[in-house]
Amino acid sequence: MTDPRTTAERLVRRFARETNLLVAGRAFAVEGTDAVAEELRRLLPALGARLGTRGVSFAPGAETEILIDGAAPPARTDAAQRVDNAGAHMPVSTLIAARLREQGIVRGIRIGIAMVLEPKTAQLALLLRNAGADVAVYAHPDEIDVAVAEVLRDRGIPVDGDPALGGAEERAAAVAFLRRGFDLLLDDGSHLIRLAHEEGIALRGAAEETTSGLAPLRLMQQQGLLGIPVIAVNDARLKTSFDNRYGTGQSCVFAIADVLDAAGIGLRDQPAVVIGYGPVGEGVAAHLRAFGVDIAVAETDPVRALRAAHDGFAIGRLADVAQGALVISATGAAHTVDTATLGAARIVAVAGGVPGEVDVDISQLRPEGVHLDRVGDGALLIAQGGCVNLAAAEGNPIEIMDLSFAVQLGAVEQLLAGALPAGVHPFPEEADQAIARAALDARGDTIDSRSPEQQQAESEWRSRRYLASSAFVAEEGSA
């Protein structure tokens, strides 16, 4: 018989799986007083949710166990429904796209989107097209939902990408996409931005979505090789603080739990090691902690290691903590999980990820279950070492990508507002705050504004400790 804690965890993961919605920041009502209901009331706040009487309702054991605003979750049985459902939960991106349409600044602008193709990305493409842009989409072979691609093609947006491609054919397909000719490129990992530079294909500007994608672009800038302006979407507070921590944290941990559950393995059946304690690692560790997992963190950055320690996690060298553990790489760096770690760990997964994050020859893997393979006589590897939340789930929750794509749309606005010099440029803080206020409005939340006295005090450079006796004050009073 399944224990109440596991039943509660499965119900929360089922909600996320069936809706692709976020748990954190959402209100949940839990009906009943049995042990499962009590476990739900413990688990949900640990995941960042609020307990209330409205919003999502859990009724453990009832005929309909999950209700959203009093009704069963909407059907998402085919790709078109998944795309349309994503659009229904992306109010902030919709608002920014409507502004672009009203201003007319993207009308006729050729925009290429090179990102993981799933329902939220499809909505980004549709929003830009509806705002007047000429849009096409490219997805890498391991990052394309072919059913979603067909939905976009049916709705008039070209999609390049084929899961069967590899090697030289994959590169040729990416080059062919770039040769369609674009003004702007919205990239994830900067793979196509860099390829455009290698091939001498002109772009007016670009926006980059990820930490791992910005690092090589900054290297190119230092070496005088970056020939276009790139907006660092990833560095916007609305992106890093939410997409990486809450979105990737939930989607990756839930996907890992689902894969292991199907194989008869529980998250708590072994300790976990999170490699890397940047925003993604923080999110992964926080979600594992909510499920009661024993966690250690392996880091190369001493400041991040100290932060992990002060967040209550054991820290240590990977070689010392990986034995028999569930090892989750959250670095976005190649060669993070080496062959020694694959031999020592019980299970290995990648959160987010870049090609080559795990040193493994996938042709040598032995299938052990759905999205689960054995590496020789060593660890079980989830999703062949690829992005677990993409290969074994549906990517980050919709509301999270609404915020990230609102920043992408804001980056398009910045790139078209005036001529920027070549280089990596920050996303403007005032634009970040404007999008955040729009998100609060969409939630129905209100916040304070600074009073005139606070604003005046912030404009004063002199120390308030001595202000009353300041010579400047006396001179101003006698003038």
The DSSP 8-state label assigned to residue 451 in this structure reads -
The DSSP 8-state label assigned to residue 337 in this structure reads B
- Nearest CA to 320 among 273, 358, 281, 287? 273
Query: How many other CB atoms sit within 10 Å of the CB of residue 274?
Result: 30
Q: Is 286 helix (H, G, I), strand (E, B) or coil?
A: helix
Residue 475 pLDDT class (50, 70, 90 cuts):
low
Indicate if the pLDDT at residue 477 is higher than 90: no
For the chain, what percent of residues have pLDDT higher than 70? 98
Name residue 323's amino acid: Q
For the chain, what percent of residues have pLDDT higher than 90? 90
pLDDT of residue 104: 96
Q: Which residues contact 15 (CB under 8 A, 6 or more apart)?
A: 21, 23, 56, 58, 66, 73
Mean pLDDT, the chain, rounded, equals: 95
Q: Which residues contact 211 (CB under 8 A, 6 or more apart)?
A: 234, 240, 244, 278, 279, 332
**pTM for the model:** 0.93
Q: Which residues contact 436 (CB under 8 A, 6 or more apart)?
A: 237, 238
Name residue 188's amino acid: D
pLDDT digits (tens, 9 = 90+) for 276-299: 999 999 999 999 999 999 999 999
| Rounded-to-integer distance, Cα 419 and Cα 173, Å | 30
pLDDT of residue 301: 98
Among the ranges given (116-130, 266-280, 417-431, 457-471), the one the predictor scored with the smallest mean pLDDT: 457-471
pLDDT of residue 476: 53
pLDDT digits (tens, 9 = 90+) for 376-421: 999 999 999 999 999 999 999 999 999 999 999 999 999 999 889 9
Query: How many other CB atoms sit within 10 Å of the CB of residue 77?
Result: 7
| Rounded-to-integer distance, Cα 154 and Cα 163, Å | 19
- The CA distances from residue 385 to 244, 271, 337, 344, 463, in Å, are 19, 19, 9, 16, 56
